[in-house]
Structure 1
Amino acid sequence: MNSDDFFKKKAKLDESLGKTFEDLEKGYNETVRVRNIVDNTRGILDNLDNQFCQKTGLTKADMVFLFTAIGLQISRQYLLTKFPQRLDDQTAANNTLGHEKEKSNRLHRYYQPSLDEIITNPVPFDANIGANGALSGGGKLGHRVTAIGHDPILGLIFGTANIATSTLTTAIFKSYHISTNEKKRDYFKSKASTKLVLSHTLDKLIHQGIEGKTIIATSIMKEIIHLKSDVNTKHSLPLPGISAINPKMASKIASYGFDMSNLSTVVKQSTYSILINSMIAMIHRMFCESDKEIDIKLHEVRTRKIISYSNLIASSSNIAVVAATQNMEFLDLGGLAVTIYRLITDRKFIRDVKEEFIFGAYKNIVMGDYLI
């Protein structure tokens, strides 16, 4: 080995040693840096927590959304979705479209009433004269649970068929022909076949041309109008399907307040509340100015805070009003259910985003410029 080769190897060795010492120094400095971070973890996490609170705190613009949402929810509670006043049966009937033209005058033809007869006569499943126990066992709601035409769902099938065939079908699916007596009142004339009630209805719909289809369309319209007129009466209508299982149970459940009037009101309350929440959320999210995923999530935290706070304030004020006035018509039960759901789900979402923000940022601090 000549001197030139020796010095070249020495230079490479010196360069290698220099790089090694440099790497060792960087490693030492990095170790010190990470140790300092670990020693100050509590302070760093507290600082990141404060940053999260600042980034997700409601701004002046957010407060406009908040008070708008509160105003909409409170207006909805007292103007659109309060529990309706219950009417007696006669008043409800008098308010029904076309009731003044109805009178019993059935020119009985088995399963084949005319269109004019269907229009001018009351629904056949309100008949009770001559029932001889066929409508018994209904408890407080009486024939509204034992005549299946009053079921809010099954009634759309059997009630429509009863109107189209001038019959009455009970909750145990026995059917009777309904006719008019000399005092112009509907009565149970004789037994009918439930199978024929349905088959004649289908025949009108499928095989009797425009006349048959008109009869079915008129019958279902009459059924819907009748159900609607009964919903907000003092006894209302039973919950769907229960009458066919146990009429007395359906009546008992309704006596506890679980009837169609209350159910439809609660559903309406929750639906309108969700609609307002969705509208506020959609408009507020349009104001997010960043395309970064974390920034979008932080903006959604503010959105969810607006919705949760507005629902909570509106529901709290509603409970206070009901307590002060003792007027249960104002109780926003559906809105309260939505509020509870929002508080649970929004709290979980905010907690998850907060953990992602804090620990994601902490990981970046620890990693520094090094990639693993």
Structure 2
Amino acid sequence: MLNEYDEEIMNLLKIKQEIEELKTNITNTKEYFRKEEEKLKKKVENIDILIENSYFILTKLGEQFEKETELSKEDKKEVLFFTSIQITRQFILECIFKNNLFSLKNENYRIAHDDSDMKKRLKIEKENSSFYKISKDSNITSNKYRTVKDILLSPSIPYDAARNSKNFNENLGGGHYHRAKTLGHDPILGWIFGVFNILTGTITLSNLNTYQVDMNGLTFEKQVSTFGIFDDGIRSIIEDPRRLVAAVFMQSLHLKSDINTKAGLPIPILTLFENFGTKIYKSYDWICLKRDLSIIGIQYIFAKIIDFILVCYREIKYQNIKIDRNIYQAKTQKIILFSNSLSSTSNIVKVLLTKKYYSLDIGGILNTLINFFVILNKLSNLKLEYMFDNFEKLVKGEIEEWQIKI
């Protein structure tokens, strides 16, 4: 009996001990969760403080970006190096093109408007055209509109007319400057007005007055509606679509015959400004403008190539440098901008001092101006990206630390 009793007592004591251990564990667990809750609250408070002070923090990050993107001595050496390359480019291109930029029309290097070789060459080109061969014998007739045959076989273009113009109070400069006063001779507008003038046998002047032309003597006959020639032209095309092809073909040949002559062709669109356009045309024409645009284009392309080489060099160099990529890219953009600005400024100063306007690096200056706006936008985006990336890392760092501790 005693043994059974002792055994029962022992079991009860054991149960009591287990209960005490359980109470202790519960107490410890409560304390653990209390501490963790306090830590969590603290972390949340820290994040709240971070968010509340986000403007201040982002401002500081912005200031930090500006400080870290300041060019070092090494960066400034690169600015000077690439500035010297741009200046060398300017010098080389100036030597290649010499005095061509902005030079005026030189009739000594142009052919006469009635040059026999030119006329013979264009006649062969015209007669060898498959369209001409197929269409010159067209049998489609019209009582109102010029036929394909009329357009192709006519020895003249209606907007070359000049006779009798004074009777309509139109001054074509004695015929010598009529190309600046007729929209058909405009290298751009001519593809509209010239084509419809050919279709309808008319001439449209820079003041937008339009006249019917007697094709036998290239004489002004009567004034007609400018809008009316488009209506008549479209009706003629509907009657025979080949007339449009024929008119475009003859427009192309006529511009080609005029462009290299002593008189040349006027600058596009300026034909709409009668007096100003004529004044410019007397000394500077379409060939001059095309030449200058080509030079400016080459200047721009080579300036852009040097910028590309700079970027490639910096990208290769980045492989061995440990620095935030946004910071490094921002420095690269600043080096491009500063080297462009220095080279363009030096060129402008040189031109102003020497008065050699043909030395002006318009393509390089254009590249600088474009880069100014593009790079400022890139720098702004890089700065914002740097600020928000670092702010995000700051917030994520707090959250990740809390997650790891749990």
Q: TM-score range by the shorter chain?
A: 0.5 to 0.7
Please tell me whether the aligned partners of residues 296 and 363 of structure 2 are also in contact (alpha carbons under 8 angstroms): yes
Do structure 1's residue 330 and structure 2's residue 359 form an aligned pair? yes
Task: Give the Å deviation of 1:149.
Answer: 1.6
Q: Distance in 2 between matches of 1:272 and 1:214?
A: 36
Q: Which runs of 5+ in 1 are unaligned?
A: 104-109, 181-186
Q: Distance in 1 between matches of 2:210 and 2:330?
A: 54
Deviations 1:23-58 (CA, angstroms, capped at 9, x unpaired): 7579779989999xx9x9799876654444469974
Instruction: Report the equivalent of 1:152.
Output: 187
| 1:358-369 alignment runs, 5 A limit | 358=387, 360-361=389-390, 364-365=393-394, 368-369=397-398
Distance 1:19 1:80, change over 3 A: farther
Instruction: Report the equivalent of 2:274.
Output: 247
Do structure 1's residue 131 and structure 2's residue 187 form an aligned pair? no
Task: Give the Å deviation of 1:92.
Answer: 6.1
Do structure 1's residue 318 and structure 2's residue 332 form an aligned pair? no
Instruction: Report the equivalent of 1:357.
Output: 386
Do structure 1's residue 17 and structure 2's residue 34 form an aligned pair? no
Deviations 1:150-204 (CA, angstroms, capped at 9, x unpaired): 2221212433565788864433232313446xxxxxx526459846994799599
Secondary structure in structure 1 of the residue aligned to 2:219: strand
Instruction: Report the equivalent of 1:86.
Output: 104
Distance 1:206 1:162, change over 3 A: same
Give the counterpart letter for 1:311 in structure 2: N
Q: Distance in 1 between matches of 2:73 and 2:325?
A: 11
> What's the RMSD between the two structures over aligned residues?
5.4
Q: Distance in 1 between matches of 2:222 and 2:177?
A: 20
Task: Give the Å deviation of 1:17.
Answer: 1.6
Q: Distance in 1 between matches of 2:304 and 2:231?
A: 48
Instruction: Report the equivalent of 1:275.
Output: 301
Instruction: Report the equivalent of 2:143.
Output: none
Q: Distance in 1 between matches of 2:37 and 2:230?
A: 92
Distance 1:216 1:333, change over 3 A: same
Secondary structure in structure 2 of the residue aligned to 1:175: strand
**Structure 1 stretch displaced more, 339-348 or 304-313:** 304-313
Identical aligned residues as a percent: 17
| 1:166-315 alignment runs, 5 A limit | 168-170=203-205, 171-179=208-216, 187-188=218-219, 190=221, 194=229, 198=233, 206-207=241-242, 216-217=248-249, 219-227=251-259, 229=261, 237-240=266-269, 243=272, 247-248=274-275, 250-251=277-278, 254=280, 268=294, 271-276=297-302, 278-280=304-306, 282=308, 285=311, 288=315, 297-298=326-327, 300-315=329-344
* Aligned residue-pair number: 341
Secondary structure in structure 1 of the residue aligned to 2:209: coil
Distance 1:304 1:249, change over 3 A: same
Please tell me whether the aligned partners of residues 56 and 302 of structure 1 are also in contact (alpha carbons under 8 angstroms): no
Secondary structure in structure 2 of the residue aligned to 1:321: helix
Task: Give the Å deviation of 1:354.
Answer: 2.8
Task: Give the Å deviation of 1:138.
Answer: 6.9
Deviations 1:275-309 (CA, angstroms, capped at 9, x unpaired): 34554455555563689xx9665554355334423
Distance 1:61 1:331, change over 3 A: closer
Q: Which runs of 5+ in 2 are unaligned?
A: 1-14, 121-145
Please tell me whether the aligned partners of residues 299 and 364 of structure 2 are also in contact (alpha carbons under 8 angstroms): yes
Please tell me whether the aligned partners of residues 169 and 176 of structure 1 are also in contact (alpha carbons under 8 angstroms): no
Q: Distance in 1 between matches of 2:326 and 2:180?
A: 51
Deviations 1:233-266 (CA, angstroms, capped at 9, x unpaired): 7xx72542762xx6356558x59x9986786567
Task: Give the Å deviation of 1:94.
Answer: 1.9
Task: Give the Å deviation of 1:9.
Answer: 2.6
Deviations 1:314-336 (CA, angstroms, capped at 9, x unpaired): 32122122212223333344543
Distance 1:160 1:356, change over 3 A: same
Task: Give the Å deviation of 1:346.
Answer: 0.9
Q: Distance in 2 between matches of 1:300 and 1:132?
A: 67
Name the TM-score, length of structure 1 as normaliser.
Answer: 0.63
Distance 1:52 1:315, change over 3 A: closer
Deviations 1:201-250 (CA, angstroms, capped at 9, x unpaired): 95999448xxx96885354033145246579x7xx72542762xx63565
Q: Distance in 2 between matches of 1:47 and 1:147?
A: 63
Task: Give the Å deviation of 1:357.
Answer: 2.0
Give the counterpart letter for 2:20 in structure 1: F
Q: Distance in 2 between matches of 1:12 and 1:152?
A: 95
